Amino acid sequence: MVAALAGVSRSTVSRVVNASPRVAPGVVEAVNAAIVELNYVPNRAARTLASKRTLTIALVIPENTARFFADPYFASVIQGVAMYLSATDYTLTLLIASETDPEKTRRYLQGGNVDGALILSHHSDDRSYVQLATSLPVVFGGRPAGHADPNTYIVDVDNVAAAQTATRYLIDHGRRALATIAGPQNMSAGIDRLDGWRRAADAAGLDVSRVEYTDFSVSGGADAMRRLLASGATFDGVFAASSQIASGALDVLRERGISVPGDVAFTSIDNDHYAQNSIPSLTTIEQPTLEQGGKMAETLVRLIAGEEVDPLTIMPTKLIERSSV
Instruction: Report pLDDT for 46.
Output: 45
Cis peptide before 137 (omega within 30 of 0): no
Residue 233, judged by CB atoms within 10 A of its CB (0-12, 13-18, 19+), counts as: middle
Residue pair 287/155 in contact by the 8 Å Cβ criterion: no
Instruction: Report pLDDT for 45.
Output: 41
Residue-wise pLDDT tens digits, 252-275? 999 999 999 999 999 999 999 999
Instruction: Please tell me the distance from the alpha carbon of residue 81 to that of residue 262, in angstroms, as a whole number.
Output: 41
Instruction: Report pLDDT for 131.
Output: 78
Instruction: Please tell me the distance from the alpha carbon of residue 76 to that of residue 325, in angstroms, as a whole number.
Output: 26
Residue-wise pLDDT tens digits, 171-183? 999 999 999 999 9
| CB within 8 Å of 237: residues ≥ 6 apart | 170, 171, 173, 175, 176, 177, 178, 179, 264, 265, 266, 267
Instruction: Report pLDDT for 49.
Output: 43
Instruction: Please tell me the distance from the alpha carbon of residue 46 to that of residue 161, in angstroms, as a whole number.
Output: 48
Q: Please, where in the chain does CATH 1.10.260.40 lie?
A: 2-42
Residue-wise pLDDT tens digits, 215-247? 999 999 999 999 999 999 999 999 999 999 999
Q: What is the DSSP secondary-structure string of 38-55?
A: HT----HHHHHHHHT---
Cis peptide before 280 (omega within 30 of 0): yes
Residue 187 Ramachandran class (φ > 0 left, ψ -120 to 50 alpha, else beta): beta
Element (H, E) at 3: helix 2-6
Instruction: Report pLDDT for 77.
Output: 96
Instruction: Report pLDDT for 234.
Output: 95
pTM: 0.81
Instruction: Please tell me the distance from the alpha carbon of residue 300 to that of residue 32, in angstroms, as a whole number.
Output: 28
CA 265 to centroid of chain Cα atoms:
27
Query: How many alpha carbons fall within 13 Å on the CB side of residue 264?
Result: 29
Query: Which stretches in the chain have pLDDT values below 50?
Result: 43-50
Residue pair 265/281 in contact by the 8 Å Cβ criterion: no
Instruction: Please tell me the distance from the alpha carbon of residue 203 to that of residue 170, in angstroms, as a whole number.
Output: 13
| Domain 56-156+289-316 CATH (choose: 3.30.450.40, 3.20.20.150, 1.10.287.950, 3.40.50.2300) | 3.40.50.2300
Residue type, 264: V
CATH of domain 2-42: 1.10.260.40
- Strand 312-315's sheet: what is its strand order? 91-96, 56-61, 116-120, 138-141, 153-157, 312-315
Query: How many alpha carbons fall within 13 Å on the CB side of residue 179?
Result: 25
CA 233 to centroid of chain Cα atoms:
34
Q: Please, where in the chain does CATH 3.40.50.2300 lie?
A: 56-156+289-316, 159-286
CATH of domain 159-286: 3.40.50.2300
